[in-house]
């Protein structure tokens, strides 16, 4: 489930996507695996990866992303929520 919200974050176009810790020009990180305690995301171009631990601030923000979107940012297509 957190993978879907991570993908929404990476693709939405109105937040900065999470990028490689070695070179931010490597492109947006991609979800690799989701376990009970963490989401692991990795760089599409190199071996760099990041573990987003359940309970961390980032994990919580991602987990609420689809909920906060209409309130904080509004729809991106100009329609009314």
User: How far apart are the C-alpha atoms of 51 and 58, rounded to whole Å?
Assistant: 10
Q: Which positions ≥6 away from 79 have C-beta within 8 Å?
A: none
Closer CB to Zn ion, 29 or 62, in the complex = 29
CB 31, CB 6: distance < 8 Å: yes
Q: Tell me, residue by residue from 18 to 57, as one string, x for binding to Zn ion by CB under 5 A and - for no binding.
A: --x-x---x----------------x-xx-x---------
Minimum separation from the CB atom of position 48 to Zn ion (A): 4
The residue (of 46 and 68) whose beta carbon lies closer to Zn ion is 46
């Amino acid at each position: 489930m957190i993978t879907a919200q991570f993908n929404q974050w990476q693709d939405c176009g109105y937040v900065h996507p999470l990028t490689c810790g070695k070179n931010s020009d490597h492109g947006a990180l991609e979800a690799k695996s989701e376990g009970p305690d963490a989401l692991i995301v990795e760089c599409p171009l190199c071996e760099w990866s990041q573990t987003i631990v359940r309970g961390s601030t980032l994990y919580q923000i991602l987990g609420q992303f689809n909920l906060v979107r209409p309130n904080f940012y509004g729809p991106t297509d100009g329609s009314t929520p």
